[in-house]
Amino acid sequence: MSEITIREMEQDEEFAAWFSDLLTEEDEAEGTSSRVEDRYLVLTSDIGDWVGGLRYTLQGGVAHLVEVAVTPAERRQGHAHRLLGAFEERAAGYGAHLIEFWTDDLRSEALLAAIGWQRVLVRSGYIGGRTWYLMEKSLAPA
């Protein structure tokens, strides 16, 4: 038996494709859907410039918002809320029954509650030593 080595990999190496194929084969053999899929929503201006975007994962019927960002010049115009709405629509379209995200900023909690989101968990001393909140919303089948 040869010596086994563990090392960290960069995303652009061929390992990512090999690993993805391996997981797909396992899911097909077991009839499961355990894979995490990164997905992106992009917000562009009328001339095609990137204004902002959103990254989320989809796994087993749960869509998890990972990051959302809007350029400083375009903030306070409702773009993040539009992205959140598009996230909800896309997740439902892919068959998600639940959407969620972590935040350390509850300034929009009242607005989020008005559109069906709820705080379900509080973690003190979590990321960066700050308090973080798990927000979620159940989705009706598309």
Q: Return the SS3 of 61.
A: coil
Residue range 20-43, pLDDT digits in tens: 788 888 878 887 766 777 889 988
User: Which residues of the chain fall short of a pLDDT of 50?
Assistant: none
- For the entire predicted model, the pTM comes to 0.76
Q: What is the pLDDT of residue 111?
A: 84
Where do the domains of the chain lie, and which CATH numbers do they carry?
A: 36-138 (3.40.630.30)
The pLDDT value recorded for residue 85 is 92
What is the signed CA dihedral for 10, 12, 14, 15, rounded to 10 degrees? 40
Residues 6+ apart with CB under 8 A from 117: 109, 135, 136, 137
